[in-house]
């Protein structure tokens, strides 16, 4: 799809329009720029270029490296948890306290500090200016502060491992009253540092998020209409809007809980009797916290999922050499899912004791959201249909994403249907579901995206053989961790149990737990193949050259690879079409880049956008 001129009538229009506007190749006409270009601050010293840097690409990499560091911590924690669950006798020094601390930190790190930061801070920063044809984010200085806020948030979070009492062990949902009462590990300094770290994260994210949204709305290059943006940008854009609306709920609940802890207010604290003594709290509501938390927490799922949806659409299209199927529906599905995601939060609370009539409303909205989500899945597989599929590592990760996402999406329909949730909530079924759908599936996209864009960032390919090993071990291993885990939930095995081997439910599950643990060790270890591949390929990888995947979107069309500060050299690119003109009938090449003017591909029968 290209400029708004029907190619079949090209010649007649050409003569007509040239007589109207007075000359030039008018089928290539794009409205002139309305604003002058922005001035950029160019760093000169090492510090301004690489540390306190205002270049969104460097900030993106800083975000990525910090997020991946936290991810490795989260991975190691998950190994230790699996060690306890599979082989408790091997680590007798692992106590219930430390187990719950690991559960909590693993969850919070993976959801917020790895996935959110990586998709929005990492991919968002690197890709937004490049893909919309801007020289940088609109507020580069604020963007820099955003990263450093995130960095401080991570430092505070990691510091909680070293304070007396250790990090909080309240579960990643931090439900009061237990989160701030004795009886929960880390209920002193641990929970405070967690709340402070989350607050810093939200502040830092807000600065970055405003940048992403305004850059996408205001700094697109000439010809880049909203409906020509790559779906990656649509996904990141919508997710950022969600985050800007959802994170304040997390911020206020963090502040209120901090006040409950430090000043003894009772926002979330009712009358409580501990060890025969009545505490001084009175009149607060634990359920209020749950509403606030999930008002953030459910959009959070889509904050992670929507960028993944967008990115995987682009990767599938490029590597299947075919336009994404149903682009407009994909866009509206992303926007629709984003809007609906604010009306489903209480499906996490069906058995929380909230008014049971809520169940009808939230079950209905939750299942309605399944419709646009399913459409996206159909469009991904229809993109493969009659394509020309290159089975690169990138494509393998996309296929792995489809399998794990559909699997996790369908178990989501189990849990969203309120009555089915009653027996399954708080069991291993839930753990299996959300790891499949928002752990493994987005990770598949992240890996695919890294294999895809690594040549742009470094100018070199990642090693394909290592990449395929990495994919198969990760995909098959992760699938064999989480697929059988659902069945533990059917038995009724509750989550967040440090051990339960004397229980009749669990005896039949011991063997499965050992199997899952072994698989988890292998999958974790396979990630080090990936890290080795990254380190090796930066220096020794096969040189990629310009636009190695023969993609259409702007980020591949910079004058320098890797792109320099300011991205575009002398002149900003001008966009004539969407990013998905692959294998257009009549065209000589199997791709037409977004900057190719219609006059250069006069023979291609493109559809108009």
Residue numbers 420-439 binding another protein by CB under 8 A = 420, 422-427
Which of 38, 48, 583, 599 touches another protein by CB under 8 A? Answer: 583
Of 38, 352, 534, 548, the residue at the interface with another protein (CB under 8 A) is: 352
Q: How many CA atoms lie within 13 A of 394 on its CB side?
A: 24
Other Cβ atoms within 10 Å of 276 Cβ, number: 5
Q: Point out which span in 75-83, 93-101, 116-124, 125-133 binds another protein (CB under 8 A).
A: 93-101
Considering the complex, state which of residue 228 and residue 565 has its C-beta at the smaller distance from another protein: 228
CB of 159 to another protein, least distance (A): 22
φ/ψ of 274, rounded to 5, equals: -120, 130
> Is residue 214 at the binding interface for another protein, with CB under 8 A as the rule?
no
Kind of pairing, strands 273-274 and 277-278? antiparallel
State which residue, 136 or 421, has the beta carbon closest to another protein.
421
How many degrees, rounded to 5, is the angle at CA 27 between CA 21 and CA 30?
Answer: 75
Q: How many residues bind another protein (CB under 8 A)?
A: 117
In contact, 249 and 327? CB cutoff 8 Å: no
What is the per-residue binding string for another protein in 268-307, x denoting contact by CB under 8 A?
--xxxxxxxxx----xxxxx--------------------
- In DSSP notation, 284-342 reads --HHHHHHHHHHHHHHHHHHHHHHHHHHHHHHHHHHTTSPPTTHHHHHHHHHHHHHHGG
Question: Which residues in the 56-85 window bind another protein by CB under 8 A?
Answer: none
Q: Of the two residues 291 and 536, which places its CB atom closer to another protein in the complex? A: 291
- Taking the CA of residue 513 as centre, how many other CA atoms within 13 Å lie in the half-sphere pointing to its CB? 24
- Residues 242-271 close enough to bind another protein by CB under 8 A: 270-271
Residue placing its CB nearer to another protein in the complex, 211 or 404: 404
Quick one: DSSP state of residue 543? B
Q: How far is the CB of 254 from another protein (least distance, A)?
A: 19
* Stretch near another protein under the rule CB under 8 A, chosen from 44-52, 293-301, 439-447, 576-584: 576-584
Give min distance, CB of 212 to another protein, in A. Answer: 27
Residue from the set 19, 218, 280, 503 that interacts with another protein by CB under 8 A: 503
Q: Site residues for another protein, window 438-497 (CB under 8 A)?
A: 472, 476, 479, 483-484, 487-488, 490-492, 494-497
- Minimum CB separation from another protein for residue 275, in Å? 5
Q: How far is the CB of 514 from another protein (least distance, A)?
A: 14
Residues 6+ apart with CB under 8 A from 127: 60, 232, 233, 236, 453, 555
- The Cβ-side half-sphere exposure at 319, using a 13 Å CA radius, reads 23
Q: Which of 229, 254, 268 is nearest to 128 (CA)?
A: 229
**Nearest-angstrom CA–CA distance, 417 and 608:** 42
Please state the closest distance from residue 140 (CB atom) to another protein, in A: 36
Kindly tell me which residue out of 304, 584, 596, 601 binds another protein, with binding defined by CB under 8 A: 584
Residues 18-57 contacting another protein, CB under 8 A = none
d(CA 20, CA 7): 19
């Amino acid at each position: 799809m290209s400029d708004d001129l029907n190619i079949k009538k090209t010649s007649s229009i050409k003569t007509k329009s040239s007589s109207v506007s007075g000359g030039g190749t008018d089928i290539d006409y794009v409205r002139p720029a309305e604003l002058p270009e922005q001035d950029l601050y160019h760093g000169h010293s090492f510090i301004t270029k690489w540390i306190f840097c205002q270049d969104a690409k460097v900030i993106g990499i800083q975000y990525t490296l910090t997020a991946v560091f936290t991810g490795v911590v989260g991975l190691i924690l998950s190994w230790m948890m699996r060690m306890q669950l599979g082989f408790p006798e091997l680590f007798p020094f692992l106590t219930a306290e430390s187990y719950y601390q690991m559960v909590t930190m693993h969850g919070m790190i993976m959801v917020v500090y790895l996935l959110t930061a990586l998709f929005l801070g990492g991919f968002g920063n690197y890709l937004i200016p490049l893909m919309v044809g801007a020289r940088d984010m609109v507020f580069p200085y604020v963007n820099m502060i955003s990263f450093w806020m995130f960095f401080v948030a991570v430092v505070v979070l990691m510091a909680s491992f070293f304070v007396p009492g250790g990090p909080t062990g309240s579960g990643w949902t931090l439900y009061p009253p237990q989160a701030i009462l004795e009886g929960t590990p880390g209920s002193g300094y641990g929970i405070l540092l967690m709340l402070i770290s989350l607050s810093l994260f939200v502040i830092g994210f807000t600065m970055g998020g405003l940048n992403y949204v305004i850059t996408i709305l205001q700094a697109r290059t000439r010809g880049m209409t909203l409906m020509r943006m790559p779906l990656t940008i649509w996904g990141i854009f919508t997710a950022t809007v969600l985050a800007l609306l959802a994170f304040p709920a997390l911020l206020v609940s963090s502040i209120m809980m901090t006040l409950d802890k430090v000043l003894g207010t009772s926002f979330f604290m009712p009358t409580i009797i501990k060890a025969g003594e009545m505490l001084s709290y009175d009149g607060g509501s634990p359920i209020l916290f749950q509403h606030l938390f999930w008002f953030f927490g459910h959009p959070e799922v889509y904050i992670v999922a929507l960028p993944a949806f967008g990115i995987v659409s682009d990767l599938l299209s490029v590597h299947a050499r075919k336009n994404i199927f149903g682009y407009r529906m994909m866009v509206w599905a992303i926007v629709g899912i984003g809007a609906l995601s604010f009306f489903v939060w209480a499906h996490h609370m069906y058995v929380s004791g909230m008014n049971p009539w809520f169940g009808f409303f939230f079950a209905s909205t939750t299942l309605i959201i399944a419709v646009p989500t399913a459409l996206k899945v159909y469009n991904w597989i229809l993109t493969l249909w009659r394509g020309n599929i290159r089975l690169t590592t990138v494509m393998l990760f996309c296929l792995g994403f489809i399998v794990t996402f559909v699997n996790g999406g369908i178990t989501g329909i189990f849990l969203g249907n309120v009555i089915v949730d009653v027996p399954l909530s708080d069991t291993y079924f839930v753990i299996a579901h959300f790891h499949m759908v928002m752990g493994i599936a987005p990770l598949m996209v992240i890996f695919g995206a890294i294999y895809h864009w690594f040549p742009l960032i470094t100018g070199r390919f990642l090693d394909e053989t290592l990449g395929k090993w990495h994919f198969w071990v990760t995909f098959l291993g992760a699938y064999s961790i989480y697929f059988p885990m659902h069945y533990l939930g059917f038995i009724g095995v509750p989550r967040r149990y440090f051990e339960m081997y004397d229980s009749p439910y669990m005896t039949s599950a011991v063997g499965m737990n050992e199997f899952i643990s072994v698989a988890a060790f292998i999958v974790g270890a396979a990630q080090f193949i990936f890290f080795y591949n990254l380190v090796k390929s930066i220096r020794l990888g096969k040189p990629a050259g310009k636009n190695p995947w023969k993609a259409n979107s702007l980020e591949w069309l910079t004058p320098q690879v890797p792109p320099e500060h300011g991205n575009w050299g002398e002149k900003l690119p001008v966009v004539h079409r969407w990013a998905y003109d692959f294998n257009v009938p009549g065209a000589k090449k199997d791709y037409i880049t977004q900057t190719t003017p219609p006059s250069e591909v006069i023979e291609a029968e493109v559809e108009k956008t």
